[in-house]
Chains A and B, each alone.
Chain A
Amino acid sequence: MAITAFTGVATSTDASPRRKKSWVALVLLLPGLLYLVLFFIVPLVSLVITSLQVPSPTAFGQYDTAFNWQTYGVVISTYGTQILRSFLYALLATIFALLFSYPLAYFIGVKVRRYPILQGLMLVLVIAPFFISFLLRTLAWKAILSDDGVVVGGLKALSLMGSQDHLTGTPVAVVFGLTYNFIPFMCLPLYTTLERLDVRYLEASNDLYAGTFETFRKVILPLSLPGIVSGTLLTFIPATGDYVNASSEFLGGASSTMVGNVIQSNFLVQLNYPVAAALSIILMAIILVIVSLYVKRSGTDDLV
């Protein structure tokens, strides 16, 4: 989604009429276009059709083609809480990941710029978690945050948690898991922009009476906006639809179910395909609206 939002500008400029070698571009574009048609347009259409189906009167799990748009209303009234919760959790995770990643990316990209080996090492540390399946990593966190784990034990010993309190299965654990899992996705785009940040702008800002904080607010932050936008999109979009962290088999519980869990359950457990499809489409539509407003508002074209 983010990608289509960004390429919209690029294609419109290419539309100059009758370019001689336009067929070369067309040939080169063909595999990509085919891919998009086969794996994006076709499934999307099929998803819309599925969402409008009605249950077959004869067999459970069978659906007949119809135009039953009422499903959307039913879905919103039934799962409204989970939808809202998903966006709230994703928003929180995005904010926490940004607050955590920005100083880290700034340190790696600007402060240790003069020591390339250290810089490379620190980048490897950011990427290192990718070498282990994120399911395993999330399970590991479940063990760490479990009731007999060291974190809960420690917090209880400090009386910060009551004896009946848990961490796993709570919204705190889910948001924590989301934040943790998406930090590299936030960190890397931030790093790429900050790594190119020209420190001479900071000197100029300092020279023009701006202190450390004002330099950050007026110069560093606006100049790193492209990284912030891509990092937040790469975190927010997948986090909204995430169903692993909030699953009760991992860090979530009944009170922290997200829309991804509902879709999964409807598709794979209850075999209620229209509801699952309608949920997916609603989720997609809301994300699309939020992201386009966000990209428009942050005005990144000026900066690239």
Chain B
Amino acid sequence: MAGADLELVGITKRFPGFTAIENLDLVIPAGSFFALLGPSGCGKTTTLRLVAGLEDPTAGRILIGGKDVTQTKPFQRPVNTVFQSYALFPHMTVLENVAFGLRRRRVSDPIAKAHDALRLVELDHLAARRPQQLSGGQQQRVALARAVVNEPALLLLDEPLGALDLKLRRQMQLELKTIQTEVGLTFVHVTHDQEEAMTMADTVAVMNRGRIEQLGAPEELYELPKTAFVANFLGQSNLFTGEVIESAGDTIAVDVAGSRIVVPKSRAARHSGTVTVGVRPEKLSLLTTRPASTAAQNVIGAGRVIDVSFSGVSTQYIVEIPALGSMIVFAQNMVFGPVVDRGAEVWLSWTVDHGFGLEDLPDATAEQSPDDLQPLHATHTGSAAAGSTKISA
């Protein structure tokens, strides 16, 4: 019943004209909920299809529960997939769809087991319907039941929530997580939705250009991103690039266009040369008067608020600071409405401990998250990126 380890060893996949995955090594422990997160075209779906056996790797090995399955056909692998399109068989009832895998493996009493699986996703009352008579969310749950019922060593989810509206998606995220805990299978979830990856998975691997940029628990990835891509793809970041001017005790100080920014050594990947440091927008405090400089705080400013957007829980401010570029600030709405208006002169400060130092320098093309993924934030992320490149130039 319990899932099995998945191990990818040196996997490379080339298609005519491009390389989808480059020398990928990955171990997913049994029983975990693992998310592969990345923008479209980063190779995450290809990785999933390789594990399912729907594609053959150009090089490398795939092991499930320690057994090499690289050369086996999809129907020989103890793996089931919940497809992005669900791919429910239109000529069968919901029940027959769910019983399909059981029948193929000659499992005894497939109908009763299929009913059990449908009860798990709370759709047993629709067992006699055809898939096309169900709503998108219901179809998604049937697809899940059809995969889970086989008790595979690995359950692969290929953006299964992509076609659902936001509310339903949130609800399904919770349900999926509950089901994973209940059945105890290893789930590998592919998504481009960073929020989805963070809320559902125990471990998130951020993929970009066929490589894994960073792997870890969601909090770890968010609080301490290692690369500019992760810093900008997983949430948003304010990034600064400059020379390390001081490396004393347990902190380093970076000179960014005249401003001094201090980062703990333990949270910085590199301690000398030109480095990029950053801070998350919600860690910033917006101040209308210049604060007193202390060792525990970084202060930048003065800058001007160029945009204020109210989003209910919080308000997002874009602050243009001369020589540093645009900064994003998220402030909780503790009072009614925004605390400052557009055009106001402000200073930004944050606790030194909240800063992080990256391994790489931002590269204009890599950190842009595709616009279609997060239309609300895309432009702001873009301007922050533009801001940080301006500094490094």
Identity of the chain A residue whose Cβ is nearest the Cβ of B79 in the assembled complex:
A207
CA distance A214 to B105 in the complex (A): 11
The contact of A204 among B79, B81, B150, by CB within 8 Å, is: B81
Provide the residues of chain A in CB contact with B90, threshold 8 Å. Answer: 201, 223, 303
CA distance A169 to B90 in the complex (A): 47
Min CB distance, B84 to chain A, in Å? 9
Contact call B75/A204, Cβ cutoff below 8 A: no
Contact call B74/A203, Cβ cutoff below 8 A: yes
Instruction: Tell me if A219 is interfacial: C-beta within 8 Å of chain B.
Output: yes
Provide the residues of chain B in CB contact with A223, threshold 8 Å. Answer: 90-91
The contact of A205 among B53, B100, B130, by CB within 8 Å, is: B100
> Chain A, 163-203, contact with B by CB distance < 8 Å: what is the 0/1 string?
00000000000000000000000000000000000101101
Instruction: Tell me if A9 is interfacial: C-beta within 8 Å of chain B.
Output: no
Instruction: Tell me if A14 is interfacial: C-beta within 8 Å of chain B.
Output: no
Contact call A210/B75, Cβ cutoff below 8 A: yes
Given the known interface contacts A209-B105, A209-B150, A210-B104, the answer about A302 and B85 at a Cβ–Cβ threshold of 8 Å is no
Contact call B87/A209, Cβ cutoff below 8 A: no
> Chain B, 284-312, contact with A by CB distance < 8 Å: what is the 0/1 string?
00000000000000000000000000000
Contact call A211/B75, Cβ cutoff below 8 A: yes
Min CB distance, A41 to chain B, in Å? 37
Contact call A206/B73, Cβ cutoff below 8 A: yes
Provide the residues of chain B in CB contact with A200, threshold 8 Å. Answer: 83, 85, 87
Contact call A206/B89, Cβ cutoff below 8 A: no
CA distance A35 to B73 in the complex (A): 57
Instruction: Tell me if A222 is interfacial: C-beta within 8 Å of chain B.
Output: yes
Contact call A204/B89, Cβ cutoff below 8 A: yes
Min CB distance, B158 to chain A, in Å? 10
Interface residues of B in 55-91 (CB under 8 A from A): 73-75, 79-81, 83, 85, 87-91
Min CB distance, A225 to chain B, in Å? 8
Interface residues of A in 255-304 (CB under 8 A from B): 302-303
Contact call A209/B54, Cβ cutoff below 8 A: no
Contact call A211/B73, Cβ cutoff below 8 A: yes
Contact call A208/B91, Cβ cutoff below 8 A: no
Provide the residues of chain A in CB contact with B75, threshold 8 Å. Answer: 206-211
Instruction: Tell me if B197 is interfacial: C-beta within 8 Å of chain A.
Output: no
Instruction: Tell me if B211 is interfacial: C-beta within 8 Å of chain A.
Output: no
Identity of the chain A residue whose Cβ is nearest the Cβ of B143 in the assembled complex:
A204
Tally of chain B residues near chain A (CB < 8 A): 23
| Chain A residues touching B, majority SS | helix
Instruction: Tell me if B184 is interfacial: C-beta within 8 Å of chain A.
Output: no
Provide the residues of chain B in CB contact with A219, threshold 8 Å. Answer: 89, 91
CA distance A204 to B139 in the complex (A): 14
Given the known interface contacts A200-B85, A203-B83, A211-B73, the answer about A302 and B91 at a Cβ–Cβ threshold of 8 Å is yes
Provide the residues of chain B in CB contact with A203, threshold 8 Å. Answer: 54, 74, 83, 87
Min CB distance, A198 to chain B, in Å? 7
Interface residues of A in 216-260 (CB under 8 A from B): 218-219, 222-223, 225
Instruction: Tell me if B348 is interfacial: C-beta within 8 Å of chain A.
Output: no
Contact call A214/B104, Cβ cutoff below 8 A: yes
Given the known interface contacts A209-B101, A209-B104, A211-B75, the answer about A204 and B83 at a Cβ–Cβ threshold of 8 Å is yes
Identity of the chain B residue whose Cβ is nearest the Cβ of A209 in the assembled complex:
B104
Provide the residues of chain B in CB contact with A214, threshold 8 Å. Answer: 104
Identity of the chain A residue whose Cβ is nearest the Cβ of B156 in the assembled complex:
A207
Provide the residues of chain B in CB contact with A210, threshold 8 Å. Answer: 75, 100, 104
CA distance A214 to B52 in the complex (A): 18
CA distance A206 to B80 in the complex (A): 10
Instruction: Tell me if B146 is interfacial: C-beta within 8 Å of chain A.
Output: yes
Identity of the chain B residue whose Cβ is nearest the Cβ of A202 in the assembled complex:
B87
CA distance A223 to B100 in the complex (A): 15
Provide the residues of chain B in CB contact with A218, threshold 8 Å. Answer: 100
CA distance A84 to B125 in the complex (A): 50
Contact call A198/B87, Cβ cutoff below 8 A: yes
CA distance A203 to B87 in the complex (A): 9
Contact call B79/A208, Cβ cutoff below 8 A: no
Contact call B105/A222, Cβ cutoff below 8 A: no
Provide the residues of chain A in CB contact with B89, threshold 8 Å. Answer: 201, 204-205, 219
CA distance A69 to B137 in the complex (A): 63
Contact call B100/A207, Cβ cutoff below 8 A: no
The contact of A207 among B80, B85, B91, B130, by CB within 8 Å, is: B80
Provide the residues of chain A in CB contact with B150, threshold 8 Å. Answer: 208-209
Provide the residues of chain A in CB contact with B100, threshold 8 Å. Answer: 205, 208, 210, 218
Question: Most chain-B Cβ atoms within 10 A of its Cβ — which of A210, A225, A302, A303?
Answer: A210
Provide the residues of chain B in CB contact with A204, threshold 8 Å. Answer: 81, 83, 87-89
CA distance A206 to B100 in the complex (A): 11
Provide the residues of chain B in CB contact with A208, threshold 8 Å. Answer: 75, 80, 100-101, 104, 146, 150
Interface residues of B in 101-148 (CB under 8 A from A): 101, 104-105, 130, 146
20 contacts between A and B (CB under 8 A): A198-B87, A200-B83, A201-B87, A203-B54, A203-B87, A204-B81, A204-B88, A206-B54, A206-B73, A206-B74, A207-B74, A207-B80, A207-B81, A208-B104, A209-B101, A209-B104, A210-B104, A219-B91, A223-B90, A225-B91
Chain B residues in the interface with A (C-beta under 8 A):
52-54, 73-75, 79-81, 83, 85, 87-91, 100-101, 104-105, 130, 146, 150
Given contacts A204-B83, A207-B52, 5 further A-B contacts (CB under 8 A): A203-B87, A206-B75, A207-B74, A208-B80, A303-B91
Please list the 8 inter-chain residue pairs (A to B) with the smallest Cβ-Cβ separation, ordered nearest first: A208-B101, A204-B87, A209-B104, A206-B74, A200-B87, A222-B91, A209-B75, A210-B104
Chain A residues in the interface with B (C-beta under 8 A):
198, 200-201, 203-211, 214, 218-219, 222-223, 225, 302-303
